[in-house]
Amino acid sequence: MARSRLLSCWTLLFSLAILFGCLIIPGVTVKHENFKKCDQSGFCKRNRAHADDVSAKGSSFTSPYELDTFELAFENGQLSGNILKTVSPTEKKKLPLLISFFESGVARVTVDEAKRLTGDIEIRHGSQARKERYNEAESWVIVGGLELSKSATFSPEDGYTKVLYGPNNTYEAVIRHYPFSVEFNRDGQTHVQLNNKNFLNVEHWRRKVEAPTEGEQDVLGDQEDESTWWEETFGGNTDSKPRGPESVGLDITFTGYNHVFGIPEHADSLSLRETRGGPGNHEEPYRMYNSDVFEYELNSPMTLYGSIPLMQAHRKDSTVGVFWLNAAETWVDIVKSKTDTQTHWFSEAGQLDVFVFLGPSPSDISRKYGELTGYTQLPQQFAIAYHQCRWNYVTDEDVKEVDRNFDKYQIPYDVIWLDIEYLDDRKYFTWDPLTFPNPIGMEEQLDDSERKLVVIIDPHIKNQEKFDISKELKSKGLATKNKDGDIYEGWCWPGSSNWIDCFNPAAIKWWIGLFKYDRFKGTLPNVFIWNDMNEPSVFNGPETTMPKDNLHHGNWEHRDVHNVNGITFVNATYQAMLERKKGEIRRPFILTRSFYAGAQRTSAMWTGDNQATWEHLAMSLPMVLNNGISGYPFAGADVGGFFHNPSKELLTRWYQTGIWYPFFRAHAHIDTRRREPYLIQEPFRSIITQAIRLRYQLLPAWYTAFHEASVNGTPIVRPQFYVHPSDEAGFAIDDQLYLGSTGILAKPVVSEDATAVDIYIADDEKYYDYYDYTVYQGAGKKHSVPAPIEKVPVLMQGGHVIPRKDRPRRSSGLMKYDPYTLVVVLDKNGQAEGTLYVDDGETFDYQRGGYIHRRFRFEGSTLSSEDIATHGPQTAAYLNTIAGVRVERVVVIDAPKEWQDRTTVTVIEDGAKASSSASLEYHAQGDGKAPYVVVKNPNVGISKAWRIEF
Ligand code: NOJ
């Protein structure tokens, strides 16, 4: 008896423990020990120590860097010469300097090292590695904007040299000869300074002198600390560093600026924090070394999967920026004084190469940075709709069942995804014959409702004798090599793997061949690609990636190219998708996890393996916004959170947030419970459905925003400072966003049990609730907007015309010829304006005029539609296809009272024989809600010029 009571007591305790364990999400945090801190990364430690030393010495510090004025030349907008680095009383190292001034008003400073450039150095350990500093990052990243200024002028003065450049030569670069430094001035003010703190550090090549014996060490006293020069061991991996120390470092001060943004990817606030300690600050510099960081932490400067070394500084009415073009591991320290933001950049290898932008507005930075690195690709229409993913849909029948269920519950979606389990034995370009016996049948079912399939293809290739792709990779010499020049082998999803080396043109050519329909069997034209693990992720490699002394095509060390490695792979896939079949040219869609500047030309990105927590939901907003202002706006986060199971409320709020990500995809880890929206019980299912439908309703506005991004680089969703650059109180706000130029302002709920959100309004324009037109007005303060679970808090700023499609359909493809609704949101002067861009959403015909671009304007009492497109050879054919697409409704918000007795409007369409009329309904409202009118079926063509007179 006693024994059984004891037993049941234990059983109870045990059960309680299990129950308790299930209720609590295990406390997951990143394994810090797997990733370097600054003091575990030799060059980071050295550069920080150098900065400390210089700062401590103050004016007694003697800079070793001096501009050699004898060899200074200025020709065609380019200043060339040498910086001399004094390394001993008798020895100076030559560092070739080039400062280029471009027509665009951007300047570029490049510093190299003569000895490495000419190959006059020795490489240790018999390594085949190249001798030069890496100088090919440009070939992966820069696509234009390098036209040199014809009007820039040069004037050598005593102790400094001055160059006037930029618009009407109103910019000024002052290059000081000793110590070498450069300041960039605009409007008579200094905005950006290079090396004014004397942190410049170009680690010149030196021969390794064997370590002195113990006795000698004493005699040598305070010799430089060489301990991290020749070899570095971390986590059991040793980097042989055949070229010794070669980092480059530079301080960059933004004079008069207090906010800096950019340098994604970090899980941190949009306005970057200081990194040298103190309350609320980081202790570590922001790191950029593309890595697969398992269970990444928030509010951290730790590196993540991608990097864009573009930073912009912002103050009232002025934005300036720098772009640090270097593909090696890079860290950035940030320290703010009362007036300035001082940053300190250092990279392990490569040239020093920095572009300086003088703004003056955030959109100037977007445009000029885009001119250099390319604008975002205009994606296919489906790509900006809703994507349904999980690791994994387990069979082709499973996929078809999910597809049917979306229809059954009338939830729109465009794309379903297959993660690595569709493969036969984790071999890319194959299908598991047991679980996916009929991929074509599955794709055909999807195609019936214009839906697409995305399958994952990673850069690691299973290392297996009998796998033909592995055999080809190796026999053709297309794999990345280890430090000894043999094929590099590591561990990833398939087990033992080798990595395609996309720096090699022959490897790209081969990769292209693998995607041809007769090679990648089981795929139809509605199949697109997900490139994951391309940092590259190597499970048994140092910091979960490749050894730095691995060798790529041209014998560049992996160290040199690490951060561009991911995009070389995506570029190859992009090329392959373009060339699947002759004559079948569709815009490729590729999702990538790893990225660098330039990735926007070919792909979308997502923020990797987040977690189903409210904190991760909240962090997704600054992360997506940051990508947007950093030239790579096609960004999103896993809706629902990748790891763990979200509560119903969290999942619902995540959908309501995810509809504002330019890339909108739900995804989940293999160990999570199924959470397709139709599985969630009511009322959540309907609420999620409404949220997804809101995304679909606004697809015309989204597509127009994507188009804008594709021609001038403006973000698709924009942060507060970007839209209101004069309003200082809004600069740090990163939890609300604007959709393109539509005036739509959303503030997603990212906390539990919320019933309202505070939306910050910068200007004194009227803002209207999206659904009931409640008016919010009052500049420079927060307004409480109701946000019960069923409500997505969204406002519309007065002064815009928002294009919508209001008929719910199964997929965006099925909405192609649906009629439009135009929502005219009047401003305080009774005016509004907006644009709409439409093309076939699939091909490249838009590049030859196959599109419409309209401007809608409401002025006086007339709404008009005007053509703002540039016509081309495809225009007529395209116009033909959408000739029948009409406007079925016009809603005018804050309609004047005088309209209350009107019942009709006059409609005049260009080319029509006579004017016609349409009915108007006036809704008076009250109770803080704006009156509005609805014009039913004005029956004007969306592609036509017309006027509606109220
Ligand atoms: C890592 C990716 O981040 C994740 O989204 C994916 O599900 C897994 N790899 C498996 O492919």
Concerning whether 532 is annotated as a catalytic residue, the answer is yes
Question: Which amino acid belongs to residue 455?
Answer: V
Q: What letter would DSSP give residue 496?
A: E
Q: Is residue 822 a contact partner of residue 856, using CB atoms and an 8 Å limit?
A: yes
Q: Is residue 466 a contact partner of residue 474, using CB atoms and an 8 Å limit?
A: no
Q: Which ligand 1 atom is at minimum distance from the Cα of 305?
A: 3
- Measured in Å, residue 532 CA sits from the centre of ligand 1 at 7
- Measured in Å, residue 671 CA sits from the centre of ligand 1 at 12
**To which residue do tokens 């959109």 refer?**
363
Q: pTM score, two decimals?
A: 0.96
Q: What tokens does 296 get?
A: 């990444």
Q: Is 532 in the pocket of ligand 1 (CB under 6 A)?
A: yes
Q: Is the pLDDT of residue 815 over 50?
A: yes
Q: What tokens does 596 get?
A: 């660098």
- Measured in Å, residue 456 CA sits from the centre of ligand 1 at 9
In this prediction, residue 216 has a pLDDT band, given cuts at 50, 70 and 90, of low
Closest CA to 924 of 950, 947, 893: 893
pLDDT recorded at residue 219 = 46
pLDDT recorded at residue 395 = 98
Concerning whether 818 is annotated as a catalytic residue, the answer is no
Mean pLDDT confidence for 22-28: 46
In this prediction, residue 214 has a pLDDT band, given cuts at 50, 70 and 90, of low
220 versus 832: the higher-pLDDT residue is 832
CA distances to 126, 142, 623 from 599, rounded to whole Å, are 35, 11, 16
Residue 486 counted as domain residue: no
Q: How far apart are CA 806 and CA 816, in angstroms?
A: 12
Q: Is 535 in the pocket of ligand 1 (CB under 6 A)?
A: no
- Measured in Å, residue 608 CA sits from the centre of ligand 1 at 8
Q: Is the pLDDT of residue 447 over 60?
A: yes
**To which residue do tokens 């004798």 refer?**
465
Q: Is the pLDDT of residue 15 over 50?
A: no
Q: Is 419 in the pocket of ligand 1 (CB under 6 A)?
A: yes
Mean pLDDT confidence for 56-84: 97
- Measured in Å, residue 550 CA sits from the centre of ligand 1 at 25
Helix (H), strand (E) counts: the chain:
17, 49
Q: How far apart are CA 803 and CA 823, in angstroms?
A: 6
Q: In this structure, what are the phi and psi dihedrals at residue 335, rounded to the nearest 5 degrees?
A: -135, 135
Q: Is residue 577 a contact partner of residue 591, using CB atoms and an 8 Å limit?
A: no
The residue ranges of DSSP E strands in 403-509, in sequence order, are: 415-418, 452-456, 460-462, 490-492, 495-499
Residue 645 counted as domain residue: yes
- Residues 508, 569: one domain? yes
Q: In this structure, what are the phi and psi dihedrals at residue 668, rounded to the nearest 5 degrees?
A: -155, 150
Mean pLDDT of the chain: 95
Closest CA to 545 of 309, 304, 348, 347: 304
Q: Which of 533, 643, 644 best tests ligand 1's pocket when mutated (most atoms within 8 Å of CB)?
A: 533
Q: Which ligand 1 atom is at minimum distance from the Cα of 642?
A: 5
Q: How far apart are CA 88 and CA 84, in angstroms?
A: 12
Residue 933 counted as domain residue: yes
pLDDT recorded at residue 211 = 66
Of 306, 341, 373, which residue constitutes the final position of a domain?
Answer: 373
- pLDDT tens sequence across 723-747: 999 999 999 999 999 999 999 999 9
Residue 67 CB: number of other CB atoms within 10 A?
A: 25
- pLDDT tens sequence across 576-617: 999 999 998 899 999 999 999 999 999 999 999 999 999 999
pLDDT recorded at residue 212 = 63
Q: How far apart are CA 90 and CA 748, in angstroms?
A: 64
Q: Is 426 in the pocket of ligand 1 (CB under 6 A)?
A: no
Residue 263 counted as domain residue: yes
- Residues 704, 730: one domain? no
CATH number at residue 168: 2.60.40.1760
Residue 748 counted as domain residue: yes
Q: Which ligand 1 atom is at minimum distance from the Cα of 419?
A: 11
Q: Is residue 712 a contact partner of residue 705, using CB atoms and an 8 Å limit?
A: no
- pLDDT tens sequence across 267-318: 999 999 999 999 999 999 999 999 999 999 999 999 999 999 999 999 999 9
pLDDT recorded at residue 28 = 61
Residue 450 counted as domain residue: yes
Residue 674 CB: number of other CB atoms within 10 A?
A: 10
- Residues 159, 46: one domain? yes
Q: Is 590 in the pocket of ligand 1 (CB under 6 A)?
A: no
Of 310, 341, 373, which residue constitutes the final position of a domain?
Answer: 373
pLDDT recorded at residue 112 = 98
Q: Is 558 in the pocket of ligand 1 (CB under 6 A)?
A: no
Closest CA to 641 of 626, 652, 629, 651: 651
Q: What DSSP assignment string belongs to 639-655?
A: BT-SBS---HHHHHHHH
pLDDT recorded at residue 225 = 83
Residue 431 counted as domain residue: yes
Residue 216 CB: number of other CB atoms within 10 A?
A: 10
Of 712, 736, 755, which residue constitutes the final position of a domain?
Answer: 712
Q: Is 895 in the pocket of ligand 1 (CB under 6 A)?
A: no
Mean pLDDT confidence for 852-867: 98
- Residues 647, 706: one domain? yes
- pLDDT tens sequence across 497-547: 999 999 999 999 999 999 999 999 999 999 999 999 999 999 999 999 999
**In terms of DSSP bridges, do strands 201-202 and 737-739 run parallel, antiparallel, or are they unpaired?**
unpaired
- Residues 515, 585: one domain? yes
- Residues 707, 726: one domain? no
- Residues 347, 403: one domain? no
Taking every pair of Cα atoms in the chain, the longest distance, rounded to a whole number of angstroms, is: 104
- Measured in Å, residue 669 CA sits from the centre of ligand 1 at 8
Q: What letter would DSSP give residue 664?
A: E
Residue 481 counted as domain residue: no
CATH number at residue 846: 2.60.40.1180
Q: In this structure, what are the phi and psi dihedrals at residue 47, rounded to the nearest 5 degrees?
A: -70, -40
Q: Which ligand 1 atom is at minimum distance from the Cα of 608?
A: 3
| Catalytic residue (choose from 535, 543, 638, 676) | 535
In this prediction, residue 210 has a pLDDT band, given cuts at 50, 70 and 90, of confident
Q: What DSSP assignment string belongs to 253-321?
A: EETT--EEEE----SS-SSPPPSS-STT--SS-EEE-----TTPPSS-----S----EEEEEETTEEEE
Question: Which amino acid belongs to residue 368?
Answer: K
| Secondary structure string (H, E, C) spanning 502-527 | CCCHHHHHHHHHHCCCCCCCCCCCCE
- Measured in Å, residue 708 CA sits from the centre of ligand 1 at 31
Q: In this structure, what are the phi and psi dihedrals at residue 658, rounded to the nearest 5 degrees?
A: -60, -25
Q: How far apart are CA 317 and CA 724, in angstroms?
A: 9
In this prediction, residue 244 has a pLDDT band, given cuts at 50, 70 and 90, of very high
Q: What tokens does 39 get?
A: 């003091």
- Classify 619 as helix, strand or coil: helix
Q: What DSSP assignment string belongs to 135-197?
A: --HHHHH--S--PBPSS-EEEE-SSEEEEEESGGG-EEEEEETTTTEEEEEETTEEEEEESTT
Q: Is the pLDDT of residue 764 over 90?
A: yes
Closest CA to 362 of 323, 403, 316: 316
Let me know if 532 is exposed, middle or buried by CB neighbors in 10 A (0-12, 13-18, 19+).
buried
Q: Which of 391, 605, 610 best tests ligand 1's pocket when mutated (most atoms within 8 Å of CB)?
A: 391
- Residues 299, 429: one domain? no
Q: Which of 419, 421, 426, 531 best tests ligand 1's pocket when mutated (most atoms within 8 Å of CB)?
A: 419
Q: Which ligand 1 atom is at minimum distance from the Cα of 609?
A: 3
Q: Is residue 606 a contact partner of residue 627, using CB atoms and an 8 Å limit?
A: no
pLDDT recorded at residue 213 = 61
Domain range enclosing 900: 722-949
Q: How far apart are CA 793 and CA 636, in angstroms?
A: 19
- Residues 796, 868: one domain? yes
**To which residue do tokens 């808090």 refer?**
793
545 versus 6: the higher-pLDDT residue is 545
Q: Is the pLDDT of residue 24 over 50?
A: no
In the chain, the number of structural domains is: 3
pLDDT recorded at residue 209 = 85
Q: Is the pLDDT of residue 11 over 80?
A: no
CA distances to 153, 799, 827, 828, 892 from 896, rounded to whole Å, are 57, 14, 11, 11, 9
Alpha helices (H) in 659-771, listed in sequence order = 684-697, 699-712, 720-723
pLDDT recorded at residue 223 = 65
Concerning whether 609 is annotated as a catalytic residue, the answer is yes
- Measured in Å, residue 38 CA sits from the centre of ligand 1 at 28
- Residues 672, 791: one domain? no
pLDDT recorded at residue 29 = 80
Mean pLDDT confidence for 479-483: 98
Q: Which ligand 1 atom is at minimum distance from the Cα of 638?
A: 5
Q: Is 420 in the pocket of ligand 1 (CB under 6 A)?
A: yes
- Residues 55, 152: one domain? yes
Q: In this structure, what are the phi and psi dihedrals at residue 156, rounded to the nearest 5 degrees?
A: -75, 130
pLDDT recorded at residue 362 = 98
| Catalytic residue (choose from 136, 292, 396, 609) | 609
- Residues 869, 905: one domain? yes
Alpha helices (H) in 101-156, listed in sequence order = 114-117, 137-141
Q: Is 593 in the pocket of ligand 1 (CB under 6 A)?
A: yes
Cβ within 8 Å of residue 311, ≥6 positions away:
260, 261, 262, 263, 272, 321, 322, 323, 324, 332, 343
CATH number at residue 511: 3.20.20.80
228-232, 646-650, 676-680: lowest mean pLDDT where? 228-232
Q: Which ligand 1 atom is at minimum distance from the Cα of 458?
A: 11
Q: Is the pLDDT of residue 333 over 90?
A: yes
- Measured in Å, residue 743 CA sits from the centre of ligand 1 at 35
125-129, 225-229, 257-261, 473-477: lowest mean pLDDT where? 225-229
